[in-house]
Structure 1
Amino acid sequence: MPVYRLPKEIIFPNPELSEEDGLLAIGGDLSLDRLLLAYCNGIFPWYNEGEPILWWCPKPRFILIPKEINISKSMKKIIKRDIFKVTFNADFEGVINNCKHIREDNNEETWISDDMKAAYINLFNNGYAMSVETYLDEELVGGLYGVKIGKCFFGESMFSKVSNSSKIALIKLAEKLYNEDYLFIDCQMQTKHLESMGGKFVDWNTFKNLLSNGLEEIYLDKK
């Protein structure tokens, strides 16, 4: 199937038309309205700096249900020791900077270009993104950030400078989202780390229904 080149108009092709690897479209921009439309349709941008913007919709989808997060016995002991301090939205820019720089320091490619960073800070400033920070002795040592719309959370990236610091962030995020009736965390891509904590693949129809139900909350809140 063809990969669609996006026009200036803020539209996307049907997500079901994505390639086998998940690639759906190319081009467009990272404006607030386009990003919100993308996430509301299960689409997200992911590309290397210097490349055109690539838009993805992988199927099946790797997600984590907040109430199903797996906390190992060793992690329960670490949580009980209470050595980490966890906050929400205290340092969004610090989290995204660390996600970017740690990959660069490890000579890994990063999709967090300056344009992507600015776009997600804009989402955060407009109430559509969230960060989780993990501190040890007042130093930011781990965390994650993602997009939140309705009762849906879309994970973007995480970092860890100290063992278990990003796991703590994810556990605390799942607890918060569960208490606030969020339906899922979209992990987008499978990793062994996320799988060990309860991540699983769901087929496209299941994900589409979860997404639709989560977005309904936007309209219910407005009534």
Structure 2
Amino acid sequence: MVQTFTGSSSIAQSSTGLSVRSILLDLAARSALYRISGKLDAGPSYLSEGWCTRTHPLIVLSDGIREDVEMLARRCREAGDDARHSPIFTLIEHQHAYAEAYERGRRVALEELTPRAIRDGIGRSNTLTWNGWVIEVTGECETDDDYGMPCWTSVVDVTIQGSADAPATFVDTGRETAHRIYRHMTGKSFEGDDALAVDDPYAESHAEALSDGAESAHDADNADGGACGYVC
């Protein structure tokens, strides 16, 4: 018999005594309940009180599933396991939340440094290590997208382990940024096919300008002895 939990805290508090399979079965059952309930009740309209306060039963159920999915991802990462190998995983809601929580901050040692490895790693928010170097997504900053609309993009710090020097800061996770990080770490441009799609011309120049601005902000803050205010 599958033990059913009604809130996100129940699984989190009981997870030490539960197997990954048991948690997955519970999440699958609650996900099925969420899908069935959604067929019977369309839920609150966008920006209604139930939506904004997150108090509608469907939203409460969905939020609880998401929180437990993220908890499961962190537990699996710490144990060196991955619930995505189980066929039960395909039955749960918020699979993307599992992937994001599992990869966020996961330490990955690169055997070979390439722009593709850099781009893929920072795109997943991994912490990458290579020959004493560390590449880490440290936050986000607000910028404009290709259409001039406000959006958020990642801020990436590149450091050498044990060094007292301030990190080199790069903004965005596109192809050009990956190549800039590669040049910073190796002192040369990457040769050959990088197997990456070409950035939009506007995005490419915009990423370069943002990275230059981030580096300037770091320099100014280091001179003042303060923390970088560029990272939101």
Q: Same fold (TM over 0.5)?
A: no
Q: More strand by proportion, 1 or 2? A: 1
TM-score, length basis structure 2: 0.23
Which of the two has greater helix per residue? 2
| TM-score, with length taken from structure 1 | 0.24
Larger radius of gyration: 2
